[in-house]
């Protein structure tokens, strides 16, 4: 398992760069499998999980070291004052530079337990996306979340025709954009990355005690960096 890079630590919280493949919480089937909370607890003592990143998602995550910090950080997440930026590699090359995706989402909405677009029974969800770099068939996208629904970025980008690279769950959905490549082609993998190509690039929030506004950026892990280098070389 790759090492967890600690970006910041004090008596109230830890900001870590989570490696891909490490779940945030214990595995429901294998209680002995490593997970972020357990690894940090072994090093720093008891921690409280504030928010989650999917097992295959790498990058910046904040964890509380006290019950008070946990409550204060949870309030910020509930109030949507925590700024989270993700970087995603997607299939397809959009002809827009920026857009906002406002599509209601319903988790566990089909037989594959995916989050689906559902204007009737779904909850409001908003994702701001911006093109960072275009390649021949792929694009590096920045995604800023206004809401924090399950699999929001993956579901939203797939819905508009740009599924994430190596996303076996959402990569087979057909997007709404006419003229885009068949997203079934998303089974092709970019050299260097074989997991969902999503990285939590940065996180900003108010310190629960000092009230200072803090911002942290998580460097790309080796596989994400290798994928970008491969695409640039092509």
Closest CA to 221 of 60, 62, 23, 90: 60
Averaged over 195-222, what is the pLDDT? 97
Q: What pLDDT sits at residue 172?
A: 67
Compare 183 and 215 and report the one with higher pLDDT. 215
Q: How far apart are CA 139 and CA 100, in angstroms?
A: 17
Strands 83-91 and 198-206: antiparallel
Q: pLDDT digits over 124-159, tens only?
A: 999 999 999 999 999 999 999 988 899 999 999 999
Mean pLDDT of the chain: 90
DSSP-assigned beta bridge partners for residue 187? none
* 3-state SS track over the chain: CCCCEEEEECCCEEEEEECCCCCCCCCCCCCCCCCHHHHHHHHHCCCEECCCCCCCCEEEEEEECCHHHHHHHHHHHHCCCCEEEEEEEEECCCCCCEEEEECCEECCCCCCCCCEECCCCCECCEEEEEEEEECCCEEEEEEEECCCCCCHHHHHHHHCCCCECCCCCCCCCCCCCCCCCCHHHHHCCCCCCCCCCEEEEEEEEECCCCCCEEEEECCCCHHHHHHHHHHHHC
Q: pLDDT digits over 20-46, tens only?
A: 999 999 977 777 889 999 999 999 999
Compare 214 and 2 and report the one with higher pLDDT. 214
Catalytic, out of 54, 56, 167, 223: 54
Residue 173 confidence class, pLDDT cut points 50, 70, 90: low
Residue span(s) of the chain under CATH 3.30.2350.10 come to 5-82+202-216, 85-187
Q: What pLDDT sits at residue 49?
A: 97
The predicted model scores a pTM of 0.90
201: its two tokens: 């690039």
225 is an active site residue: no
Q: How far apart are CA 65 and CA 71, in angstroms?
A: 11
Q: How far apart are CA 191 and CA 213, in angstroms?
A: 38
9: its two tokens: 């630590």
- At residue 111, does pLDDT exceed 90? no
Q: Which one of 3.60.150.10, 3.30.2350.10, 1.10.760.10, 3.50.50.60 gives the CATH number of domain 85-187?
A: 3.30.2350.10
Lowest mean per-residue pLDDT among 61-70, 162-171, 175-184: 175-184
Q: What pLDDT sits at residue 110?
A: 82
Q: pLDDT digits over 58-89, tens only?
A: 999 999 999 999 999 999 999 999 999 999 99
Topology at the third CATH level for domain 5-82+202-216: Pseudouridine synthase (3.30.2350)
């Amino acid at each position: 398992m790759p090492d967890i890079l600690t970006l910041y630590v004090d008596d109230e919280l830890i900001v870590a760069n989570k490696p891909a493949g490490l779940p945030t919480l214990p595995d429901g089937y294998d209680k002995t499998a490593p997970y972020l909370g357990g690894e940090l607890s072994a090093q720093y003592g008891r921690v409280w999980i504030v928010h989650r990143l999917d097992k295959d998602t790498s990058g910046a995550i904040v964890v509380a070291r006290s019950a008070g910090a946990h409550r204060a950080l949870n309030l910020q997440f509930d109030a949507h004052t925590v700024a989270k930026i993700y970087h995603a590699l997607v299939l397809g090359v959009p002809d827009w530079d920026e857009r906002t995706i406002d599509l209601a989402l319903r988790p566990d909405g089909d037989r594959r337990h995916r989050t689906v677009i559902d204007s009737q029974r779904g909850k409001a969800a908003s994702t701001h996306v911006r093109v960072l770099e275009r390649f021949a068939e792929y694009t590096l996208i920045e995604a800023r979340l206004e809401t924090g629904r399950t699999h929001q970025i993956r579901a939203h980008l797939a819905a508009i025709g740009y599924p994430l690279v190596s996303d076996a769950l959402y990569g087979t959905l057909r997007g709404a954009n006419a003229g885009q490549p068949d997203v079934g082609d998303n089974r092709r993998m970019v050299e260097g990355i074989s997991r969902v190509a999503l990285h939590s690039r940065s996180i900003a929030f108010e310190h629960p005690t000092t009230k200072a506004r803090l911002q942290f950026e998580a460097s790309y892990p080796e596989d994400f960096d290798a994928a970008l280098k491969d695409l640039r070389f092509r």
